[in-house]
Amino acid sequence: MREITLSTAVNEAIAEEMRRDETIFLIGEDVAEAGTPFKITSGLVEEFGTDRVIDTPIAEPGFMGIAVGAAMTGSRPIVDLMFGDFIFLIMDQLCNQAAKTHYMSGGKLNVPLVLRTNMGATRRSAAQHSQSLHAIVAHIPGLKVAMPSSALEAKGLLKTAIRDNNPVVIFEDKLMYQDKAEVPEGELLIPFGVANVKREGSDITLVGTSSMVQVAEKAAEILAAEGISAEVIDPRTIVPLDMDTINTSVRKTSRCIVIDEGHQSFGITSEIASRIMEQSFYHLDGPVIRMGAMDVPIPFSPALEDITVPTPEGVVAVARRLMAGEMINVS
């Protein structure tokens, strides 16, 4: 099977959908000729023209508002938000308008909008360009949240998002754009709300999102050498969230670590850990441990930045203590 980069996978997804449905258009900063700073959308303006691949000024609330209005009136916009951190600029358009219009219009209006943005630290982009803010939008009813962990998911989830009649926010890890994975040719649609068991195991469950799936897989390799069999689960979408797969796994292993690049407190890990505690309480032989980014602004200093996010070694250390039945205090 061919291997392509995440960047190529995204490009393919957008191009295939735009060929299939002419109401789809792309809008954002530097998406046309520049193909975005990450070079993801290269070639699209050449194929579809400037009416459907639209460069905007540096005016996020503005172009998000344009996209929401367009979505309400028959178009299917894909909005490119250059850095996930800029989501704060468009919160009203995204969370008050896009998220609630279908409900508040009594179902008369849909907002079939896809917001494509990114997340992930360790790029040395400092605090305002390194955040992983998916927890904030996952908290808002009316929005779906997808988190591809490789090129395969990037293509499959994006295509599903584009075809969804609801607003979907899809977060790509900016560190992974050049990472390759096997992606089949042809149509590829990954359904929302279906988690993927990436590695089977019996002693401990590792739930990871986005690039943390790779962290979990590396940790599982290290643990396997120590005789600990770890199961790795990629939820793929946070909203909707496939708890069935997660619960089945935790009931098998009785131990769980949830790993996410959002901040430790008040985030995705807390939500998943809480649901596991509620739904699989009597199957737990130890606390569900959350591992997120430290509750600090992401540092600019490389040495500091690298220790603020979960690493395979960190996961292994926690897993060993869980297996040993130690009291763990990861606050």
Partner 1 sequence: MSHDVIMPALGMAQDSGLLVSWFKQSGDAVAIGDALFEVETDKATMEVEAQHAGFLTQVAAKSGDEVPVGQVIAVIAASQDAAVPIASVAEEQPPQFAAKEDALPEGQSIIMPALGMTQDTGLLVNWLKQPGDAVSADEVLFEVETDKSTMEVTAGVDGFVAALLAAAGEDVPVGHDVAIISSAKPETLMQRTRGDVPTPAAAPSLPATQSPVAPPPGDLKRTEKRQLQPKSSRILASPKTRRLAYERGLDLQKLVEAGHVQPYHVSDLAALQNISADTPVSIAAPALRRLTAKISAVPFGEIMSFVSEKSSGPTAGAVISGLAAGAWASGGSDLIVAYRHFSTTQLFSNPHGIGLGKALPDQANVEAQLLINDLRQSAISSIENCSDGLPTLTILSQGDQFSFTFECGAGQISADAALSFLTEFAGRMEQPLRHLL
Instruction: Give catalytic residues, as residue numbers.
Output: 60, 129
| Interface segment toward partner 1; rule CB under 8 A; list 98-106, 116-124, 190-198, 277-285 | 277-285
Alpha helices in 226-266 (DSSP H): 243-253
Q: Identify which of residues 254 and 311 has a Cβ nearer to partner 1 in the complex.
A: 254
Q: State how far the Cα of 194 lies from the Cα of 236, in Å rounded to an integer.
A: 7
- In the region spanning residues 232 to 271, those forming contacts with partner 1, defined by CB under 8 A, are 254
Query: Which is it for strands 256-263 and 237-239: parallel, antiparallel or unpaired?
Result: unpaired
**Residue 229 binds to partner 1 (criterion: CB under 8 A):** no
Residue 73 lies near partner 1 (rule: CB under 8 A): no
Establish if 285 lies at the interface with partner 1 (CB under 8 A).
Answer: yes
Q: Write the CB contacts of 215 (distance below 8 Å, at least 6 apart in sequence).
A: 208, 259, 310, 311, 312, 315
Q: How many helical (H) and strand (E) elements, i.e. helices and strands, does the chain have?
A: 12, 14
Task: State the nearest-atom distance from the C-beta of 222 to partner 1, in Å.
Answer: 22
Least CB distance to partner 1 at residue 274 (A): 15
The reply on whether position 227 binds partner 1 by CB under 8 A is no
DSSP code string of 132-165 = --HHHHHTSTT-EEE---SHHHHHHHHHHHHH-S
Tell me which stretch binds partner 1 (CB under 8 A): 8-16, 20-28, 155-163, 283-291. Answer: 283-291
**Is residue 282 at the binding interface for partner 1, with CB under 8 A as the rule?**
yes
Among 1, 225, 303, 327, binds partner 1 (CB under 8 A): 327
**Residue from 279, 284, 314, 320 binding partner 1 (CB under 8 A):** 284
Of 222 and 284, CB closest to partner 1: 284
Query: Does residue 329 belong to the site contacting partner 1 (CB under 8 A)?
Result: no
CA distance 172 to 211: 9
Instruction: For residue 230, report the phi and psi dihedrals to the nearest 5 degrees.
Output: -105, 140
Nearer to partner 1, 199 or 283 (CB): 283
Does the footprint of partner 1 cover residue 281 (CB under 8 A)? Answer: yes
Q: What's the closest the beta carbon of residue 211 comes to partner 1, in angstroms?
A: 31
**Cα(135)–Cα(269) distance, integer angstroms:** 9
DSSP letter string, 59-90 = -HHHHHHHHHHHHHTT-EEEEE-SSGGGGGGG
- Of the candidates 246, 228, 229, the residue with the CA atom closest to the CA atom of residue 237: 246
What residues line the site for partner 1 (CB under 8 A)?
254, 281-286, 325, 327
